[in-house]
Structure 1
Amino acid sequence: MKWKNSLLCTAAMVVLAGVTCYILLKDHSMGTLWAVLKNADLRFVLLGLFLMVLFVGCEAAVIRLLAGTWGGRVPWKRAMQYSFAGFYFSSITPSSTGGQPMQLYYMVRDGMSAARSSFALLTITAMYQLMALAYGVGMGLLKFSYLMGLPLALKLLICFGILANGISVAFILLILFCRPLVERLVYRVLRLLAHFPSFDGEKAAQKAGFMIEEYSQGGAYLRKYPMAAVKTAVLTFCQLTFLYMASYCACLALGLGSVGLVNFIMLQSIVSLAVSAVPLPGAVGASESGFLVMFSGFLSSTQLLPVMVLSRGISFYGFLVVSGLAVASLHIGKKGTPKKEKEVRSRAHGPVYKQFSVSEDLH
């Protein structure tokens, strides 16, 4: 992603956030809202931002862990910068598609192997989706009776989030443990889609082959180092918990600790799972609306909006500024001998794997 595109994505997110604020706040007194927020306890706001740093730190720890399995060494500062970059670019791009490509860019620019960097990032994504799904579904089962009383639109959004994440996780697990089956299924589907004139079957097959090969090799690597997979799962669980706790600091800052940390984490994990499949930068709009509906049974009408605004300010908008500054330092403070962008891009494509053809006999 060039910086011009990055600025465009940021501008689009700002516009979307502005529209969301207008819709959510148009029927509320800004003076009243500001009077509540300005009396928030700054200590808990800072605690929330610190928990977000721990959130980023868990991913940095995973990067260092996976690099260590192949004998690589990533300094803590650099690993934190990679993690900040993932948060920033995921937040400003639709469906969080920009985070990993930019992380890969910076890793390769610093001299890391493109193939191994790709494996580390794919492992992080797979484990994050798996743990977010398990976290949200587990909490949803514990709060099942409460969820049944929610509006139909939110229940459908929750089901859609579970379905989307479930399909993604199932696909990844099948690639890890049953690659031949996945290849047959994928390429048969591509051969059917190839009958449509506008569908580039060959290009799609090449991309699918590349992705299947990367995940398959990553799975073999994790089977060789099972403790790395276990430690990654534990760190990812901690990462999600820190994220939900950061949002809870909004309740503490506003003197609403009676909501209860466990209840808050339960509901926040369900909201996060529900909006994870929304194709908007940072799920802006969906996250705010989902929060207001989900927590309406635990907070009064006068408490709900200030908590939502401060919660999103800590866990997303405010931390987006922090991560942006970290990315700027990463981009400016190049490590080692700067490489030409063209060279970095060519290396970022990684190794050349076997390419599949839609017309190839997959029997």
Structure 2
Amino acid sequence: MEPNTHNEETGQPAKISKKSVITGVIILIAALFLTFYTIIKNLSGHDILATIKQVSPLIIILGLIMMLLFSFFEGLNMYRVLKLAGYKITLWTSWKYAIVGFFYSGITPSSSGGQPMQIYYMYQDNIRVSHGLGAVIMQLFGHEAANSLFGLVGFIALNNLIVSAIGNLKYLVYLGLFINIAYFLLLLLCLFSQRAITLIKQFLCWLVSLFDRKKTGKMQGKVERILDEYASLHSLIKKDRTIAIKTILTAIVQFICLYSIPAIVYYGFGYTEFSFLELELLQGVIFISVGFIPIPGSAGVSEGMSLMLFRVLYPASTLAGAALLGRCLSMYFTLILYCIILFVIIPIIRFKRNKN
């Protein structure tokens, strides 16, 4: 569903003011600046070109295709919810919301900007906040299910390899598994149990009231409104009980695409000792080990964990280059691509459509 850019009375396209053009240019410049600042800050001191030259250009292309598919399947999960809510939305538009989430997560501290910006873009497309929130929560539900599955199976199947590589840091994996599985079960309860939502609302309202010294009730009211918006998803799911299974299966395919990046890089450097499945599961363990850390340094922790585990995959001469290339494909190159899509390609398409 595209934003309403037409005059409702005349049916003609609305005029674009100079203020809107200037605002758009400022947003574009700011987005470009944040993107390249993030990349330069995290990759300072590394020779990216020298690393890329060690592999075929097809490896770069295939990696970017996997990242595009990763976002496509995320958009597909949001698409189902919005279609269920009655919106005449296209897969292209839902894919745009997934790209928005990835891009703003990549350029904001602690990846905090992704989901709020997704809801904002949906609101700009005349989608109610409650329905946008429902789509994001359902996507998050699938995300946690697939993430927990890959992490748990990976840790069990590759336990000896992982423990020998990271030692006592295995407890970080235990903690990550516990938090992700607990979060998934909480989402599951909230999605399918109205009573669970009511109990959580009562608990949170009681907790917030402890900090409301003036006893105005405003804080409790805000909490109730937020949870009421969340509860609207429960009634929506009743229309299609199979949507949860579809969401989980789609998320599994989504993470297969994401976790294939290290495998693509590994085979691109000419190594074949480990299977594709083993590399996928190993990446799942890395992701679940640090994904729950809500601090800006979690990206560094993730790269540190990757280096520790990748020592069993690569010789010392290739390790840093392989880790760098994998990070570029799964994050920095994708950020640049999505920046171009959001702030160049989509505005051009929208301008031509309005002009016609």
1:357 counterpart residue number? none
Aligned-partner Cα distance in 2 for 1:302–1:86: 35
Aligned-partner Cα distance in 2 for 1:207–1:282: 31
TM-score, with structure 2 as normaliser: 0.79
1:344 counterpart residue number? none
- Which of 315, 321, 333 is matched with 2:330 structurally? 315
CA contact (8 A) 1:49 1:314 kept: yes
5+ residue gaps, structure 2, are 1-25
Aligned AA for 1:309? L
CA contact (8 A) 1:92 1:282 kept: no
Aligned-partner Cα distance in 1 for 2:196–2:256: 35
1:109 counterpart residue number? 124
1:272 counterpart residue number? 287
1:113, distance to aligned residue in structure 2 (A): 3.0
- Which of 235, 238, 244 is matched with 2:259 structurally? 244
CA shift digits 1:255-279 (9 cap, x unpaired): 2233321111010011111121122
1:172 counterpart residue number? 187
1:257 counterpart residue number? 272
Aligned-partner Cα distance in 1 for 2:192–2:91: 32
CA shift digits 1:223-261 (9 cap, x unpaired): 330222222221111101001112321112222233321
Matched, 1:74 2:89: yes
Matched, 1:17 2:32: no
Higher relative contact order (CA 8 A, sep 6+): 1
1:7, distance to aligned residue in structure 2 (A): 7.1
CA shift digits 1:103-149 (9 cap, x unpaired): 12222212223332221121111221222112211221212233332
Matched, 1:304 2:319: yes
- Which of 54, 63, 66 is matched with 1:51 structurally? 66
Matched, 1:213 2:228: yes
1:227 counterpart residue number? 242
1:296, distance to aligned residue in structure 2 (A): 1.6
Identical aligned residues as a percent: 23
Give the root-mean-square deviation of aligned CA atoms. 3.2
Aligned AA for 2:319? L
Aligned AA for 2:191? L
Aligned AA for 2:176? G
2:341 counterpart residue number? 326
Q: How many aligned positions are there?
A: 326
CA contact (8 A) 2:35 2:335 kept: no
CA contact (8 A) 2:209 2:219 kept: no
Secondary structure of residue in 2 paired with 1:288: helix
Aligned-partner Cα distance in 1 for 2:348–2:119: 16
1:358 counterpart residue number? none
1:219, distance to aligned residue in structure 2 (A): 2.7
Matched, 1:129 2:144: yes
CA contact (8 A) 2:165 2:312 kept: no
1:203, distance to aligned residue in structure 2 (A): 5.4
CA contact (8 A) 2:130 2:230 kept: no
1:191 counterpart residue number? 206
Aligned AA for 2:269? L
1:350 counterpart residue number? none
1:288, distance to aligned residue in structure 2 (A): 1.2
